[in-house]
Copies of this chain bind each other. A is one copy, B any other.
């Protein structure tokens, strides 16, 4: 049971860890939990005693706005820790919500603490994982501040394409599963849902990609990446 967990979980961003570091880390988790879609996993201000590693599904981080809907500031895909920063900080400044049904490996903070004390190398790797997150956050700030709607939306789609593929969700002929609505995209990009719809139409008519039914179908990846002028270096993917 546990070994199966470990096997399945060494995916996506956790591939930054060597096989041996991974086997050490995976011993800190003794439980896999399933979370239903739209469940709030943790709420701003909560004090957390555990962090979760996404095995399947997608979660979002939301900053509540005083007026209007909470704003989507990050998504986590399989292989990402959804809230590892709660381990050193103990507290979250935002909400974490399951966008789909989610399978997650639970890492109690006390187990992490013990593990880290004995394995500084793994500690460094975990630190690095949160720093890749930070780099992605910077890119979201850049995207929302520097890009116009067409490039902005395309850039987000490129990021999702790259990260989801790296997480092992290979594009099939039917497309890459992206369980977000146009409203979610609008929320992430700081655009109105109507405008997202129009920009998606433009991308479709330009032969770049179609988005719908939970799938992103990329017809011309090179063109899409060119529209976004996408440079994935900020994702710090190995290779």
Contact = CB atoms under 8 A, between A and B. Distances in A.
Contacts of A233: 44-45, 93
A120 interface: yes
Copies of this chain, complex-wide, total: 2
B130 A63 contact: no
A137 B141 CA distance: 7
Say what secondary structure dominates the interface of chain A.
Answer: helix
A213 interface: no
A65 interface: yes
B146 A63 contact: yes
Nearest to A142: B63
A163 interface: no
Interface of A: 44-45, 61, 63, 65-68, 71, 73-74, 85, 88-89, 91, 93-94, 116-117, 120, 123-125, 127-128, 130-135, 137-146, 188-190, 229, 231, 233-234, 236
9 contacts: A63-B139, A65-B142, A68-B146, A89-B236, A120-B123, A130-B130, A131-B134, A137-B138, A146-B190
